[in-house]
Structure 1
Amino acid sequence: MRTRSAGFYRYDLDGLRGIAIALVAVFHVWFGRVSGGVDVFLALSGFFFGGKILRAALDPAVSLSPAAETIRLVRRLVPALVVVLAASAVLTILVQPETRWETFADQSLASLGYYQNWELANTASDYLRAGEAVSPLQHIWSMSVQGQFFVAFLLLITGCAYLFRRPLGTHARTGFVVLLSALTVASFVYATIAHQDNQTTAYYNSFARAWEMLLGALVGALVPYIRWPMWLRTAAATVALAAVMSCGALIDGVAEFPGPWALVPVGATMLMILAGATLPSRPDTADRMPLPNRLLATGPLVALGTIAYSLYLWHWPLLIFWLSYTGHRHVDFVEGAAVLLVSGLLAYLTTQLVEDPLRSRASPSPTPAEPLPWRSRLRRPTMALGATVVLLAVTLTATAFTWRQHVTVLRAAGKELSVLNPQDYPGARALTEHVRVPALPMRPSVLEVKQDHPASTRDGCISDFVNPAVVNCIYGDPAATRTIALAGGSHAEHWLPALDLLGHAHHFKVVTYLKMGCPLSTEQVPLIMGNNAPYPQCREWVQRTMAELVSDRPDYVFTTTTRPWNIKSGDVMPATYIGIWQTLSDNNIPILGIRDTPWLVKNGQPFDPADCLAKKGGNPQSCAVKRSDVLADRNQTLDFVEQFPLLKVLDMSDAICRADVCRPVEGNVLIYHGAHHITPTYMRTMAHELGRQIAVATGWW
């Protein structure tokens, strides 16, 4: 494919890129959906970059240099990214509480290192981080996927060209087509399987996304041989443009990509590429291209396409920071328009002042008699500009590592949380026993709380989202003959610190049967709480766990009996729990049914009190929520005690909430880890009241 100067350039694809970024930004800002625009970007990246590398590999006169190509990629992609990351770092410090700074530091390093997609995949499967606020750098995942693809593709094609170009001779192109076809099919099959197995992590998986770019590269290799009549090209281009424009409205990309439905935006992009292709001997002109391609090649869309990369980088962090600053869940039309306007302006300036000057090598110097036009001076790469970008990148990296080290040292100094003085830090006893609370700093602090986990989490005694195996660990008194089986999800798990203390004190052992986000339930298609993604591993795990419980016959099964409503305030007893109680009762296994702890919600969104407390002016009262918003007036489990005599109801709500409000801090102890897990530090202060209720239910002491 020839260059602009040679008169052959696909301006229609610049316009398609402009349409894609417009869809991405508009759907993000106003609709909270995935438009398919990112998939268009990935496909176009594969076409342009893959086509370029393949042409070089097939040309015997060209020596393909991975180092030179990598340098060009760095010059093209990294400077704008560094500028946006630097601006986001400043806004993070100014707008967001310090509880968010560590996550930003981790993700800024991941973005600079082009592994942000794997960072997000790992945290998406980490239940303890799944409730964190959306990151202003979340969108960088697609940049990381592209960067990884570019390097891998470059090395693959360079290696194959070196090994096989001479032996294959005139058949080299066929060899590359076969190779790319095999890789494309393999990636697509993998994406389909991974999507069904764990869509959340598959969404960010590089190999699950590779087929979108490989297909672009494959089409790039075949374009010179495509011969279409104009009427067919026009029909294909019309269908393709309609598919791109409607994809976000018709397909839920967050739930369906990168599976087979991603073929819609990617396939439409391929059709648009093929529809606008012409013979190399007949350069593209307006009258030789289908009408949809000519529309895409118009000035405004091409101009939007030229700033698409920078606009993609800017729009998302500006949206997230604005929502964080205002506390709103969504932007209205005026706010959204303002975010897009500012994003467009910053994207234009970034393209003109950063991208373009550093993308190309310096132009030949003019003679002294020829003054350099201001626009040329503006575009000409300079050592100062390059040095500034490098300095920003180094500063970002150093700052991120420094903050992470600071937090690590702070948490290391907080290891005594398990032995806090009960007189200074009475925690739940301030509510249940009305003991005096001295004026002391809260523990754990808002930064310490992130690593305040139950022993089972540290010991690996809870199955993660993808593991259907039952993991048993023993706590309390291992030599005891009496057993309480702690079974369910993380909301069963967070009772372990109190049960462990009681087990040692009253001589019973606690055996864990735990899985992230998976309460004991007969739900046929369990969903992950929060994003409502299908959770088939939970169903399999529950079946295995129930079989083991019936076989092991513990003295009691300790499990949760309520959940928060998804549609209104308060909590509810799910009907799908009844089958579990029936199975245990049929096997004469008593149940200690604990009412679930309140899930904190404000304005319909999960509410992390540590974030609130970290903000200026945040305190236990201002960060409280109404008790009536998170707990029903009555524990609905009580309605089933006559039907299930072996069901013993426990309710610790009054050890967490006051009569009117649920505060995030009581007795100088932070209650919540995130929006709905109880900190082990506070849980240990509930042991006395929990022990009193268990004693009444069991008669053991």
Structure 2
Amino acid sequence: MFTTVTDIDADSTHSTEQTRLTTTPRRRVEYRSDLDGLRGLAIALVVVFHVWFGRVSGGVDVFLVLSGFFFTGLLLRRAESAEQAWAWSVVRRTLRRLVPAMAVVLAAVVVATVVLLPYTQWSTVAAQILSSLFYYQNWQLALTWSDYLAADPSVSPLQHLWSMSVQGQFYLAALLTVAAAAWLCARLAQPARTRAAVGVVVVAVSVASFVYAADGVATNQGWNYYDSFARGWELLAGAGLAVVAPSLVLWRPARVVLSVFGVLGVVLCGWLVIDGANRFPGPTALLPVCATVAVILSATRLRFADWPWPNRLLAHPIMVWLSDIAYPLYLWHWPILIFFLTERGNTHAGLVGGIGVIGLSVVLAWGTHRWIEQPLRSSPGGSDDAGDTRARNLVVCAVAVLLAATLTVTAGWQFAVIQVKPPVADGQLDPEKYPGAEALASGAATPDEPMRPTVFAAPTEVPPPTGDGCIADWDTREVVTCTYGDVDADRTLALVGSSHAEHWLPALQVLAAEHSFRIQVYLKMGCPLTLAEEPTYKGEPIPDCRDWSAEVIDRLDADRPDWVFTTGTRPRDQGGDETPADYLHVWAALSDRGLNLLAIRDTPWLRRGTIRYKATDCLAGGGNRTSCGMRREDALDPINPGLAPASTFPNVFPIDLTDAVCEPTLCAVAEGNILIYHDEHHLTASYSRSLAGPLGRELQPILGWW
């Protein structure tokens, strides 16, 4: 009879498993190098899919299952050993595996950020470095509504570290759970029941997590992808396996089937699940999770000689070597890829560039493993104990210096920017010095004055609903409405749609103050009015948008505003703009209810090809108002695409203020001394206010209110 004892080398995303098969007369040690190979295969898939295919491979899900399996197994064995202070030894051991490589990579990202990125991006990177160091990066991304995007220059160089944060949070939760279970069972004089108690918790929480994740895919995937609880069931699948695996007995043919299915499932996941970013960690993630579980089970409690042949393939020295560098390779490859794409100004690395990115990542990962990780893992008492001690001490000192420097630089920058001299919106600007849109629309003179807002202050130049909480965010399904302008006026204009309707509010407020009308807002981020069955934003589904739009249309029918104001066009990915069919369905629905509609042409979205960029970043990087702009023919069609379809709806009035935003051949990023955009495509509040004159002249003959 064989007893399996699993000892791990607890890396962050991966672990090295040591399986000891013991007999009564003597002890034998078997090494599960196939699981090393599995994580080597997984990291290879992650890197290749990130570099060349721009989508999810399922490799991270493999890491999550392995982490749950290895770490929970370690905790259970330590708890059952009755070792004193076992929990602290696990914490110390885990930190020794997690922190050094992370410290090296984050320090390198700090240097690369300062050298390669405009200073307007430093605060974002600094915030993500701090969140990565303290293992809440997934929440940082979720709270800023950052969808998991394929690599391109607009993506964070630390986006991939969300998974590290999820695992770090799991490690803490698992440690507390096992420690509590061990303490409780000891108090009840039932220490042998610790494993069973943990198993009950694992089953209950994993079921709840799976149901929660499945619901999140349908209702709030942007948050769901990063949510630790939604991801929990993947880690708990491995944890549950750690609880029951020592007692499992499997039929030999079943092991072969499990092994083949497992390896094929891991390899093919990225090819079978094309849109993993929109479907994981929901039920679709059962493919990589079950595949990983199958591989683990297929050789449990077996000698190497009895392993199924796929497990032996996984144990190939190349796969095992990949597993040795898997953790640092995961850390290095993404920032290298993002900085490479940023320098090239492209969304694709290409064959040669991709090989270069992978090659450099492998070299740095090997160096990190050899010179950072290995010295810290060597045990005292070897043949060269003095040399090992010196190497460990040197690495510890180097890591401590890097951590201190990284924390000082990033926290210091954040404190200086946020606390010492925080950016402030400009408020009302002198129209003589800052004519803004009137420089284009009426030829107003533009004196020599510094641009306002500054590139640092631009992000604060948002419309009032964003600051007032009067725009429903990505996570809010309910209709949020507020009143602006003259709240006692008899005439009402309803401002409806996404943030691209919202950024016209400052201009409308100026007009409302002059001509006495109310502005009632019905706004939701990323959601123009639409009745499409599956609405999307930047390629990502926003399931609430259709239901929200339908309810808003019903509210408009009940509230009966004099006019509805919303966007009538949107940009096309291939350039120019369009009025999509689902907008026409909305126009028809409003017409059926006898509501009058002002359909304004959307403003240009800054992009080079398919790459979005911020005006502030371009200016901070040395560009000027014209070089950071776009050719008008690339940004917009020659004729407003809303004109023709609007002609079939007697209650729809198209408005086009392009000539107050763009010059005849160029859409610059600043006009009349005012910065037009506070990001890639939203108007600054200052420029929006300067549009009040041109907008008022367009609205006057339609509304007849002045």
The alignment's TM-score, normalised by the length of structure 2, stands at 0.92
Are residues 173 and 405 of structure 1, via their aligned partners in 2, closer, same or farther at CA, if it must alter by over 3 Å?
closer
Q: In 2 relative to 1, CA 403–319 (structure 1 residues): closer, same or farther, beyond 3 Å? A: same
Deviates more, 1:578-587 or 1:70-79: 578-587
Which residue in 2 is equivalent to 1:36? 58
Structure 2 residue 402 is the aligned partner of structure 1 residue 397: no
In structure 2, the partner of 1:552 is 559
SS of the equivalent of 2:540 reads coil
In 2, distance between residues paired with 1:357 and 1:628? 59
Q: How far did residue 551 of structure 1 move?
A: 1.2
Aligned pairs for 1:69-88 (under 5 A) are 69-88=90-109
Is 2:608 aligned against 1:602?
yes
* Aligned mates of 2:270, 2:589 — CA distance in 1: 45
Deviation at 1:170, TM superposition (A): 4.4
Per-residue CA shift, 1:183-240, capped at 9, x if unaligned? 2222212211222221121111111111111111211222222222333212221121
Match of 1:418 in 2: 427
- 1:269-348 superposed matches below 5 A: 269-278=292-301, 284-285=303-304, 287-348=305-366
1:2 Cα deviation from its structure 2 partner? 5.5
What residue is the counterpart of 1:369 in the other structure? none
The alignment status of 1:260 with 2:283, answered yes or no, reads: yes
Partner of 1:377: 387
Question: Counterpart of 1:478?
Answer: 487
Write the mapping of 1:545-584 to structure 2, written as runs, cut at 5 A. Answer: 545-566=552-573, 568-584=574-590
| From 618, 625, 631, the counterpart of 2:630 | 625
Q: Is contact 1:410-1:448 (8 Å) kept?
A: no
Q: 1:576 and 1:37 mapped to 2: Cα distance?
A: 37
Shift of 1:380: 5.6
In 2: Cα distance, 1:471 partner to 1:439 partner: 42
Q: Which residue of 1 aligns with 2:598?
A: 592
Question: Residue 414 of structure 1: CA displacement?
Answer: 3.6
Give the aligned length: 680
Residues 1:687 and 2:697 are matched in the alignment: no
Q: How far is 1:401 from its partner?
A: 2.1
Change (3 A) 1:413 1:636: closer
> Using the alignment, how far apart are the partners of 2:583 and 2:235 within structure 1?
46
Residue in structure 2 matching 1:364, options 381, 401, 417: 381
In 2, Cα distance between equivalents of 1:160 and 1:540:
45
Match of 1:489 in 2: 498
Q: Is the 8 A contact 1:427 1:669 kept in 2?
A: yes
In structure 2, relative to structure 1, the CA distance for the partners of 1:223 and 1:380 (3 Å cut) is: farther
TM-score w.r.t. length of structure 1: 0.93
Contact 2:278 2:541 in 1 (8 A): no
CA–CA distance in structure 2, aligned partners of residues 169 and 636 of structure 1? 73
Residue by residue over 1:232-261, the C-alpha shift from the partner in whole angstroms, topping out at 9 and shown as x without a partner, is: 212221121111111111113212110111
Structure 1 residue 268: Cα displacement: 1.0
Cα deviation, residue 446, structure 1: 1.7
- Separation (CA, whole Å) in 2 of partners of 1:399 and 1:352: 27
2:463/2:506 contact within 8 Å kept: yes
**How far apart in 1 are the matches of 2:626 and 2:389?**
55
**How far does residue 413 in structure 1 lie from its aligned partner after superposition?**
5.6
Distance 1:379 1:291 in 2: 41
Q: Secondary structure at the match of 1:473?
A: strand
Report what 2:675 is aligned to: 670
What secondary structure does 2:519 align onto? strand
Corresponding position: 1:176 with 2:198? yes
Kindly provide the CA deviation profile for residues 361-406 of structure 1, in whole angstroms up to 9, marking residues without a partner as x.
Answer: x51376xxxxx39xx8368653342132122222212212222233
Residue matched to 2:138: 117
Measured at CA, do residues 365 and 601 of structure 1 come closer, stay the same or move farther in structure 2, by a change above 3 Å? closer
Which amino acid is the alignment partner of residue 323 of structure 2? G
Q: CA deviation at 1:524?
A: 2.3
Residue 179 of structure 2 corresponds to residue 158 of structure 1: yes
Cα shift readout 1:259-283 (whole Å, capped 9, x = no counterpart)? 111111111111111111126xxxx
Please state how far the C-alpha of 1:341 moved relative to its aligned partner: 1.0
Structure 1 spans left out of the alignment, 5+ residues = 367-371
The whole-number CA distance in structure 2 between the counterparts of 1:645 and 1:200 is: 38
Q: Residues 40 and 323 of structure 2 are in contact (CA less than 8 Å); yes or no, is this contact kept in structure 1? A: yes
SS of the equivalent of 2:481 reads: coil
CA distance in 2: counterparts of 1:261 and 1:295, whole angstroms: 27
Structure-to-structure mapping, 1:422-433, within 5 angstroms: 422-433=431-442
Relative to structure 1, the CA distance from residue 437 to residue 611 in structure 2 (aligned partners, 3 Å threshold; closer, same or farther) is: same
User: 1:65 matched to which residue of 2?
Assistant: 86
Alignment of 1:624-663 (within 5 A): 624-663=629-668
- Inter-partner Cα distance in structure 2 for 1:401 and 1:131: 27
| Aligned CA distance change for structure 1 residues 689 and 395 (closer, same or farther; 3 Å) | same
Matched, 1:699 2:704: yes
Give the equivalent residue in structure 1 for 2:372: 354
Deviations 1:444-502 (A, max 9, x none): 12221112111111000101122122222111112221111111111110000000111
Q: Which letter maps to 2:654?
A: V
Question: 2:607 and 2:566 mapped to 1: Cα distance?
Answer: 23
Provide the residue aligned with 1:10 in structure 2: 32
Instruction: Return the offset for 1:178.
Output: 2.5
- 3-state DSSP class of the match of 2:522? strand
> Compared with structure 1, are the counterparts of its residues 699 and 86 closer, same or farther at alpha carbon in structure 2 (3 Å cutoff)?
same
- Using the TM superposition, give the Cα deviation of residue 555 of structure 1 relative to its aligned residue in structure 2, in angstroms: 1.3
Task: Return the match for 2:450 from 441, 450, 473.
Answer: 441
Summarize the Cα distance change of 1:347–1:542 in structure 2 as closer, same or farther, 3 Å threshold. same
- Equivalent AA in structure 2 for residue 364 of structure 1: G
> Residue type of the partner of 1:76?
R
> What does the per-residue CA deviation read over 1:131-183, in whole Å, with 9 as the maximum and x for residues that have no partner?
99211111111111111101110111011111014543544433332332222
Rounded to whole Å, the distance in 2 between the matches of 1:446 and 1:436 is 23
Please name the residue that 1:210 is paired with. 232
2:427 partner SS: helix
Tell which deviates more after alignment, 482-491 or 467-476.
467-476
Equivalent in 183, 189, 196 of residue 211 of structure 2 = 189
Q: What is the alpha-carbon distance in structure 1 between the residues aligned to residue 650 and residue 604 of structure 2?
A: 26
Partner of 1:501: 510
1:8 alignment partner, SS class: strand
Does the 8 A contact of 1:353 with 1:379 survive in 2? no
- Map Cα deviations across residues 650-688 of structure 1 (whole Å, 9 max, x no partner): 211000011111111111111112221111111111111
State the secondary structure of the residue aligned to 2:520.
Answer: strand
CA contact (8 A) 2:78 2:86 kept: no
Between the aligned partners of 2:165 and 2:422, the Cα distance in structure 1 is 32
**Partner of 1:387 in structure 2?**
397
1:486 and 1:559 in contact (8 A); partners too: yes
Q: Is the 8 A contact 2:6 2:73 kept in 1?
A: no
Measure the CA separation in 2 of the matches of 1:657 and 1:187.
50
Structure 1: which amino acid aligns with 2:363?
L
Q: Is the 8 A contact 2:152 2:346 kept in 1?
A: no
* Whole-angstrom CA distance in 2 between matches of 1:52 and 1:448: 50
Distance 1:497 1:131, change over 3 A: farther
CA gap 1:88/1:592 in 2 versus in 1, 3 angstroms:
same
